[in-house]
A and B are shown apart, each in its own frame.
Chain A
Amino acid sequence: MLKSKTFVKKTRSGGVMKIVREHYLRDDIWCGSEICTVCKQESTVLQKDSCIESDLCSSPHYLVPDTNVVLHQIDVLEDPLIRNVIILQIVLQEVRHRSAPVYKRLKDIIHEKEKHFYTFTNEHHRDTFIEREPGESANDRNDRAIRVAVKWYSHHLDTAESDGLKVVLITNDQGNKEKAEESGLLVYKCEDYIKSLLANPELVDRLALTNDETKDISSSKVLFPEHLPLSRIQMGIKSGTFLQGTFRASRDNYLEATVFVQGEGEDTTEVILQGLHNLNRAIHQDVVAVQLLPREEWVAPSSVVLLDEREAKDEDDTEEEEKEKAMKIIADDAARKPTGKVVAIIKRNWRPFCGMLNSSLIKESTRHLFTPADRRVPRIRIETRQAAALLSQRIMVAIDGWPRHSRYPHGHFVRSLGAAGDKETETEVLLLEHDVPHQDFSQAVLSFLPKMPWSITPEDMAVREDLRALTVCSVDPPGCTDIDDALHCKPLENGNFEVGVHIADVSHFIRPGNALDLEAANRGTTVYLCGRRIDMVPELLSSNLCSLRSNVERLAFSSIWEMDDKANIVKTRFTKSVINSKASLTYAEAQLRIDDANMNDDITNSLRGLNKLAKILKRRRIEKGALTLSSLEVRFHIDSETNDPIDLQTKELMETNSMVEEFMLLANISVAQKIYDEFSECALLRKHPAPPPSNYDILNKAAQSKGLDIHTDSAKALADSLDMAKVDGFPYFNTLLRILATRCMMQAVYFCSGMDSDFHHYGLASPIYTHFTSPIRRYSDIMVHRLLAVSIGADCTYPDLTDKHKQSALCNNLNYRHKMSQYAQRASVAFHTQLFFKSRGILNEEGFILFVRKNAIIVLIPKFGLEGTVFFDNKDKTGPKLVFDEAGPSLMVEQHTFKIFDLVKVTISLDDSNVQHQKIRMSLVEPEIPGVSVPVPEVGPMAKKPKLDV
């Protein structure tokens, strides 16, 4: 079978090295077509009657796209209409080198049976392999290889049975096209071919705009400096003249961005970019090369809020420049930060963006501007003929490129999501924007669910401890159907207590490596939106078989301690068990039982025991320096029929909340220690790094404004000084300070113990921590369950569990999903808040100033946990006189000075002038400043207010 071999030489950067590889050519690579009688293939991919109706090519044909077509028109290739395509191996390889996301999508298409995409390994085929000729560039050689393969196919399929079946090369390269025509191949440009399709004219909209040089000569003005070639960038980065980092556009100001440059080891520097020129066509999340400006041109980050609200026309830049100038404040040297400009883009990180079409001024126009929902992404110019239909809809658009002379990037329409403002659509947008996988579970996934009716088998009982007799109960928020933890507490004869935490045994149902497991690993976490839950595991498990409901027998993974009455742990053990919960309580119900002196049943006594121990545990934890931080969380009361929010209140915290929390922490810490002892290389743990001191700047400034000092040297010092920070007559001050402190913190992350050395959890002041207690809604916990099960000999290990690289990759996904789910949750709350205020009208509420900006103050209303901005400058008319003092920070508006923590009264209303970014608008009521504040609204809120307090 080995036919012959040739040598392929390769050089690698970093010292030129000659690499010699063998290259075998084969005679057993088949063509994959149904009509072929020569090839001895077992199964075929390409169909006999491959009919795509086209004006250009009336007979049935197979398509062969070249690399650039695949890279740029993947949206078109994904359309169900495009079938029977031959992807050459060389094309696949080139795509793999040039763009990972496109490669992934292409592979997905190839795996899809209905698309009939066939991969032809042309590089190893005896007849289609070609050697690079002297003087030929690698790209030319690859183009020639594609042509040779197409030619081979046309000859190969040109038999009696083929009924004139043709092979069509699709390319956008003019030179390639000419050469192909010379050698007698059927070749079309991508645009021409797609336009010729009879079945689906909308497909044209999905075509990516390619830079057609000839068309653009007319637009003379060049707006942006050119990007430098890659070779110079690499040299520059090596020599230190350029810095490489991830570009992050500012959410509030479209003319400003930061680039995080990863320096040596841990430290990162932040480079500020200001102005369109310096941003130079970089888009949020791109990897860019920046050059620092000379020190005298350095600026401080501006505190202005600016939105790009210009009309579509590329008008004069004067306005832009003015804005840029306005931003450049003469800050003292201390506030200045390294400032730079983008010289090149190393890697684009474009994804399809959700958003809306701006209505064009000219009705028949086909070129439109598209505004993405994510404010960090600039507007995109697209071409579509369906503008009228798309105007009021949320749509998805992909970026194709950003030429130098264009103010906006060019893109193309991908698909429509539904009517804007619609709750379904908006939720869809929210999920897409945060990359939350939310499709229904596939049949493959569901096939791994246990068969119903399910019951505990004698085999299960044989390997598990029978804890059904224990008085176990669960305490959860109201309406919770995925109960993953339950507790018990029992006095022992020696005066100690036996305390047990019982966690749903999800890993019993989800076996490693099957489709159900892979799906859960990909989803990573359950996402809770207002009124909707996107499950990580199918509902049968999450709300039934794994949920530790009362009075049914459930499988559990138990962690059982023996404690003395000082809450010192005498003994710890872990076991798989069977439990029968005696009651599912809410926090409030549990609290009532504890407080009610008349109740003396087993459950209540058990709760009291737990509560007593929890208090000791909590005190001890706080003494060690654990932080108690604060963030306001709101809960909506949702109308059961319309699903509209009808009331809103901040979540209350009760003793029982902290009781449950305390034991969960204890379980997590015990388990973390156990799995780390057993698997020092591959334990899945969670750490919370200490924040860098600069993070505390806001907190320090805020505290100093009230004459207080906050010590931030350690978690303990911070916790103590937060406890001390009290201002007479201002009871809410402490909470505000804690809210600010929360924002100084770093993100806690999952990691694999073999890949890191710092395990410390800063917020909990624990040397080691993991997540064990919520396997129904977090995948990390399932992994921890598996590790723990192996370490107590209750389950067997499997390859991926002990592979630290695979686990590290899993951790990265979990961290990403976790972060995204939090963002999605916040966005969902924001959306429902807007719905709520839309139905409620203008309200008049008290709030505190949380931040002071150059032209605005940000106000927090504790009652709703709502944050909003009060702007002082006005677009249309000249605003009031503003004096901003960076040091305070304080803002003087006319005569009145606003400082952080000031009490103000504002009205709240919904600004729905922009359908996409509906905003909560706040305007000042008190203190009264002529020309700035608005009168107290008379009706409406007064009548409705009592209802709110219910």
Chain B
Amino acid sequence: MAGLELLSDQGYRLDGRKATELRKVQARMGVFAQADGSAYIEQGNTKALAVVYGPHEMRGSRNRTLHDRAVINCQYSMATFSTAERKRRPHGDRKSTEMSLHLKQTFEAAVMTQLYPRSQIDIYVKVLQADGGNYSVCVNAATLAIIDAGIPMRDYVCACTVGFVDETPLADLCFAEESGSSLALALLPRGGQIALLQMDARLHQDHLEALMEAAMTACKGVSKVLDEVVRRHLQEVSVLTGE
């Protein structure tokens, strides 16, 4: 039979969401004590862990040192148990390398690196369970981890994947919906600046505007949730320290 019906006539998607609705987001900051910053996030069935070290002195090859700002080092990996079939190589394959690069570019745009010349910030993200929107979830996790580490950023970086089905943009795709054209956007929501925009499918120019619009709205939705998480975390921490 014909494939899945991604959007029913009644306007419901496969999992019962409407076109503009996000998946349920749950997040925690400060999950590991030994790292400088860490966070865990669940966006529907996609789960990711982010850990931040730094800023610290350059390690490894010194010749990468930048004299006016910090170097951001990213590593993306997927747990071997994150997909339906066990993954052979958790990191270092082409896709992961590309993803690492994208993350690096995203955070170079958001972190105020000029405050830490000649130093390095490490961001490690691991996808524990993959169900669509891996890049976006990793960006969101890393944002929380950086905040947890206390590294200044221009704004939250909020990311979301959007797709296009039956002339309708769908927000926050799950794995089954990712087959068509999908676009990933990382946004600094307050100023509306774009940290990264990525799409590798074909899409007619006429649709791009609608899709961008939907992506912006979705990212702003994500930012609200993240903001809440940060505030709650701060409250908890301040209670513990007795302030």
Report A-chain residues with C-beta under 8 Å of the C-beta of B17. 2, 24
**In the bound complex, do residue B131 and residue A5 qualify as a contact, i.e. CB atoms below 8 Å apart?**
no
**In the bound complex, do residue B45 and residue A20 qualify as a contact, i.e. CB atoms below 8 Å apart?**
yes
Chain B: minimal CB distance from A787 (Å): 14
Report B-chain residues with C-beta under 8 Å of the C-beta of A124. 12, 16
Q: Which of B1, B10, B16, B84 meets A18, CB within 8 Å?
A: B84
Chain A: minimal CB distance from B50 (Å): 22
Residue among B1, B10, B24, B174 facing the most chain A CB atoms (10 A cut-off): B10
Q: Is B207 an interface residue (CB 8 A)?
A: yes
Inter-chain CA distance A93–B24, complex, in Å, is: 25
| With A22-B44, A124-B16: A89-B84 Cβ-Cβ less than 8 Å | no
Report A-chain residues with C-beta under 8 Å of the C-beta of B21. 1-2
Inter-chain CA distance A802–B10, complex, in Å, is: 29
| With A97-B1, A798-B206: A119-B15 Cβ-Cβ less than 8 Å | no
| With A1-B21, A96-B1, A100-B1: A20-B206 Cβ-Cβ less than 8 Å | no
Report B-chain residues with C-beta under 8 Å of the C-beta of A97. 1
Mask: chain A, 776-814; 1 = CB below 8 Å from B; 0 = not: 000000000000000000000111001100000000000
Mask: chain A, 314-354; 1 = CB below 8 Å from B; 0 = not: 00000000000000000000000000000000000000000
| With A2-B21, A20-B131, A21-B174: A803-B16 Cβ-Cβ less than 8 Å | no
Q: Is B237 an interface residue (CB 8 A)?
A: no
**In the bound complex, do residue A26 and residue B204 qualify as a contact, i.e. CB atoms below 8 Å apart?**
no
**In the bound complex, do residue B204 and residue A802 qualify as a contact, i.e. CB atoms below 8 Å apart?**
yes
Q: Which of A1, A2, A22, A89 meets B45, CB within 8 Å?
A: A22
Inter-chain CA distance A110–B85, complex, in Å, is: 40
Q: Which of A17, A26, A107, A119 meets B16, CB within 8 Å?
A: A26
Q: Is B193 an interface residue (CB 8 A)?
A: no
Report A-chain residues with C-beta under 8 Å of the C-beta of B15. 21-24
Chain A residue with the shortest CB-CB distance to B129: A20
Q: Is B93 an interface residue (CB 8 A)?
A: no
Inter-chain CA distance A93–B4, complex, in Å, is: 10
Q: Is B198 an interface residue (CB 8 A)?
A: no
Report B-chain residues with C-beta under 8 Å of the C-beta of A797. 204
**In the bound complex, do residue B204 and residue A21 qualify as a contact, i.e. CB atoms below 8 Å apart?**
no
Q: Is A25 an interface residue (CB 8 A)?
A: yes
Report B-chain residues with C-beta under 8 Å of the C-beta of A798. 204, 206
**In the bound complex, do residue B84 and residue A100 qualify as a contact, i.e. CB atoms below 8 Å apart?**
no
Q: Is B5 an interface residue (CB 8 A)?
A: yes
**In the bound complex, do residue B174 and residue A24 qualify as a contact, i.e. CB atoms below 8 Å apart?**
no
Tell me the residues in window 119-161 of chain B with beta carbons closer than 8 Å to chain A beta carbons: 131
Inter-chain CA distance A803–B202, complex, in Å, is: 9
Mask: chain A, 118-137; 1 = CB below 8 Å from B; 0 = not: 01010110000000000000
Inter-chain CA distance A124–B11, complex, in Å, is: 12
Q: What is the predominant secondary structure among interface residues of chain B facing chain A?
A: loop
Residue among A21, A93, A798, A803 facing the most chain B CB atoms (10 A cut-off): A21
Q: Is B2 an interface residue (CB 8 A)?
A: yes
**In the bound complex, do residue B9 and residue A110 qualify as a contact, i.e. CB atoms below 8 Å apart?**
yes
Report B-chain residues with C-beta under 8 Å of the C-beta of A1. 21
Mask: chain B, 5-26; 1 = CB below 8 Å from A; 0 = not: 1001110101111000101100
Mask: chain A, 1-32; 1 = CB below 8 Å from B; 0 = not: 11001000000000001111111111000000
Q: Compute the total of residue contacts between A and B using a CB distance below 8 Å.
A: 63
**In the bound complex, do residue B204 and residue A19 qualify as a contact, i.e. CB atoms below 8 Å apart?**
no
Q: Is B35 an interface residue (CB 8 A)?
A: no
Report A-chain residues with C-beta under 8 Å of the C-beta of B1. 96-97, 100
Chain A: minimal CB distance from B179 (Å): 13
Inter-chain CA distance A803–B205, complex, in Å, is: 12
**In the bound complex, do residue B176 and residue A123 qualify as a contact, i.e. CB atoms below 8 Å apart?**
no
**In the bound complex, do residue A803 and residue B204 qualify as a contact, i.e. CB atoms below 8 Å apart?**
yes
Chain B residue with the shortest CB-CB distance to A17: B84
Q: Which of B9, B176, B202 meets A21, CB within 8 Å?
A: B176
Inter-chain CA distance A223–B8, complex, in Å, is: 44
Residues of A in contact with B, size category = 20 to 34
Report B-chain residues with C-beta under 8 Å of the C-beta of A96. 1-2, 5
**In the bound complex, do residue A19 and residue B84 qualify as a contact, i.e. CB atoms below 8 Å apart?**
yes
Report A-chain residues with C-beta under 8 Å of the C-beta of B44. 22
Inter-chain CA distance A797–B203, complex, in Å, is: 13
Chain A: minimal CB distance from B163 (Å): 15
| With A17-B84, A100-B1, A799-B206: A23-B16 Cβ-Cβ less than 8 Å | yes
Inter-chain CA distance A91–B72, complex, in Å, is: 54
| With A23-B16, A100-B1: A799-B204 Cβ-Cβ less than 8 Å | yes
Report B-chain residues with C-beta under 8 Å of the C-beta of A2. 17, 21, 23-24
Q: Which of B12, B16, B176, B207 meets A799, CB within 8 Å?
A: B207
Chain B residue with the shortest CB-CB distance to A107: B9
Inter-chain CA distance A803–B167, complex, in Å, is: 13
Chain B residue with the shortest CB-CB distance to A99: B1
Chain B: minimal CB distance from A89 (Å): 7
Report B-chain residues with C-beta under 8 Å of the C-beta of A25. 16
Inter-chain CA distance A23–B16, complex, in Å, is: 6
Chain B residue with the shortest CB-CB distance to A796: B206
Report A-chain residues with C-beta under 8 Å of the C-beta of B24. 2, 5, 24
Inter-chain CA distance A121–B21, complex, in Å, is: 17
Inter-chain CA distance A799–B8, complex, in Å, is: 22
Residue among B12, B16, B45 facing the most chain A CB atoms (10 A cut-off): B16
Inter-chain CA distance A17–B84, complex, in Å, is: 7
Q: Which of A18, A89, A802, A803 meets B8, CB within 8 Å?
A: A89
Report B-chain residues with C-beta under 8 Å of the C-beta of A24. 15-17, 24
Chain A: minimal CB distance from B24 (Å): 5
Report B-chain residues with C-beta under 8 Å of the C-beta of A119. 8-10
Report B-chain residues with C-beta under 8 Å of the C-beta of A799. 204, 206-207
Chain B: minimal CB distance from A31 (Å): 13
Report A-chain residues with C-beta under 8 Å of the C-beta of B12. 121, 124
Chain A: minimal CB distance from B109 (Å): 31
**In the bound complex, do residue B16 and residue A123 qualify as a contact, i.e. CB atoms below 8 Å apart?**
yes
Report A-chain residues with C-beta under 8 Å of the C-beta of B131. 20, 22
Tell me the residues in window 103-124 of chain A with beta carbons closer than 8 Å to chain B beta carbons: 107, 110, 119, 121, 123-124
Inter-chain CA distance A905–B174, complex, in Å, is: 75
Mask: chain B, 190-218; 1 = CB below 8 Å from A; 0 = not: 00000000000010101100000000000
Inter-chain CA distance A890–B207, complex, in Å, is: 66
Residue among A20, A22, A23, A797 facing the most chain B CB atoms (10 A cut-off): A22
Chain B: minimal CB distance from A554 (Å): 30
Report A-chain residues with C-beta under 8 Å of the C-beta of B174. 21-22
Report A-chain residues with C-beta under 8 Å of the C-beta of B16. 23-26, 121, 123-124
| With A5-B24, A100-B2: A21-B84 Cβ-Cβ less than 8 Å | no
Mask: chain B, 26-50; 1 = CB below 8 Å from A; 0 = not: 0000000000000000001100000
Inter-chain CA distance A1–B22, complex, in Å, is: 10
Chain A: minimal CB distance from B165 (Å): 13
**In the bound complex, do residue B204 and residue A17 qualify as a contact, i.e. CB atoms below 8 Å apart?**
no
Chain B: minimal CB distance from A85 (Å): 15
Report A-chain residues with C-beta under 8 Å of the C-beta of B8. 89, 119, 121
Instruction: Give 3 closest A-B pairs by Cβ, nearest first.
Output: A799-B204, A124-B16, A24-B16
Residues of A within 8 A of B (CB): 1-2, 5, 17-26, 89, 93, 96-97, 100, 107, 110, 119, 121, 123-124, 797-799, 802-803
A-B contact pairs, 15 of them (CB 8 A): A18-B84, A21-B15, A21-B174, A22-B45, A22-B131, A23-B16, A25-B16, A26-B16, A89-B10, A100-B2, A121-B12, A121-B16, A124-B12, A798-B204, A802-B204
Q: List 20 additional A-B contacts (Cβ < 8 Å) besides A24-B17, A96-B2.
A: A1-B21, A2-B24, A18-B84, A19-B84, A21-B15, A21-B45, A21-B176, A22-B23, A22-B131, A23-B15, A24-B15, A25-B16, A100-B1, A119-B8, A121-B10, A121-B16, A797-B204, A798-B204, A799-B204, A803-B204
